[in-house]
A = this chain, B = another copy of it.
């Protein structure tokens, strides 16, 4: 079994960091994320497969293979749900034996294989009757998007299991695509980016340079009007001229992933400059406090700067995932913690809300305020989000660490036991923490080697302490990482204590929808107020004093969470006569109440009722 990287930059030249294999990191029973990965294995992935069968997604392959008769059903991009599911299962198989799932994936791959055309083309919508329409509408028809997800699934499966069954299918299709598109062949641009990063990864997996070239070709051809020149498709101008993150959020961020991957392999600075510019634009003007992105329902798109409505937020789960994926790549290039800060933010608050606590229902849209009507669904006709969440969560062990010639980088904190090879030596790390509920993280190192341990100082953390073998040390802060350089010996311990206390956040003054409002954050977790924890009031009415004393309480609800409590005020809207009152009069019409906030990711898992992240401030 080969090493299962989510992104394999081990040979990439223009990167600071390399990933660790998913299989090298074992989450510890009881860990926050271990529970999520187990949920994927036990509940979500089996149930998703069942739904793929129920909804005809598997049958589309059987029909394309002429194994059964019938018509293609569902959206023309439904193949990708299967591919993402395979990818998710593969990441799981990298770290865990699960013969049942492994066999199931093998069976599914067999069906996919049979659906592939003789020339390598594979898209069940365009096989059989629609064959003449292949590649005739790149703008809308998602053929290259489907190819991209096939490649990612195939690579993940190959890396996890060593089997090349799906990789062979992917390569045949990639060869077909490379025979159709390219500088001296047909010009074209995928209407929905995705294949770019997949092609770079296929290049990394196979060493076949033309896949990298093709990825670059697809990025370079963009913005020349080949697919209509719309902002929605990020085709309104060439990639290198972009100065604002716009258009369909998932398209935009998948494109950035691909461009970052191309930069990693080529060192094309003209790409990096754009990527840095777009990142600053994203985080300073267009991102929700949850790491969610894409403010507008219309076009599932980025809005204007500071256009971040709460109740009408779109913040598609897939867009938060794309944000996570892009930031991972930016981090690998730069080694800067600010990108991992965003990964952590999006993971806990933008992606995790996308799935119910029981692993059976999903949010496509993630509003930051709701009256109780927005509930997770078992599935969607356009079901991009459910398997996307699954593949992100099963890959999680691979995101915890990164490696560089200088040492080991700890990015996301979770209890785990891991083994790496660093500077030619094996090292084992046992990490224990109650993260995200507590900021205390303990490491035990086994191995004898000289290297640095880089511990990420999260952006949310202002006070921290580090000790090595019980003695306080003051590590250098380098790119947001606390660097501990030493000769490590068996049994060395490192204790990192990140002060974690609840605090109020406020928005940039130009975010109109958050004027006069505050949000509660504790460590990496963004909180919300939900009706069930706040009886006798409408949480939309609550006013939280800016100098509120926030208290923590661990409660055995919602799978076990730290709840944040405080005292605020609820006005009595019925006692207002007229709409406007002198503020002193209005003050009399309020009563003091105790409120309790829960992690935003856990909302909408109980009785429906009003919810709000940005509560009114007093």
Contact = CB atoms under 8 A, between A and B. Distances in A.
Interface of A: 283-285, 287, 289, 306, 308, 503-511, 515-519, 541, 543, 546, 571, 573, 576-584, 586, 616-617
A579 B516 contact: no
Contacts of A573: 508-510
Contact of A616 (B287, B515, B581, B582): B515
9 contacts: A284-B576, A506-B580, A506-B581, A506-B583, A506-B586, A507-B579, A508-B579, A508-B580, A509-B573
Contacts of A510: 573
A133 to B, nearest CB: 41
A289 B616 contact: no
A450 B8 CA distance: 100
Given A503-B584, A506-B580, A519-B580, 10 more contacts: A283-B578, A284-B576, A284-B577, A284-B579, A504-B582, A505-B583, A507-B580, A508-B578, A509-B576, A515-B515
A508 B285 contact: no
Contacts of A581: 505-506, 508
B509 A579 contact: no
A283 B576 CA distance: 11
Most chain B CB within 10 A, of A283, A506, A579, is at A579
How many copies, total? Answer: 2
B546 A580 contact: no
A581 to B, nearest CB: 6
A511 B543 CA distance: 14
A111 to B, nearest CB: 46
A578 B543 CA distance: 25
A217 to B, nearest CB: 35
A515 to B, nearest CB: 5
A284 B287 CA distance: 36
Given A284-B576, A517-B515, A541 B509 contact: yes
Contact of A579 (B289, B541, B576, B580): B289
A516 B287 contact: no
Contacts of A283: 578-579
A407 to B, nearest CB: 28
B515 A516 contact: yes
A615 to B, nearest CB: 10
A510 B576 CA distance: 11
A573 B509 CA distance: 7
Contacts of A580: 289, 505-508, 519
A294 to B, nearest CB: 15
Contacts of A546: 583
Contacts of A616: 509, 515-516
Q: Which 8 A-B pairs have the closest CB atoms?
A: A516-B516, A515-B516, A509-B571, A508-B579, A505-B580, A504-B583, A506-B583, A289-B580
A571 B507 CA distance: 11
B504 A284 contact: no
A134 B517 CA distance: 56
A507 B586 CA distance: 9
B579 A518 contact: no
Contacts of A571: 509
A525 to B, nearest CB: 14
Contacts of A511: 579
Given A578-B283, A579-B289, A616-B509, A517 B519 contact: no
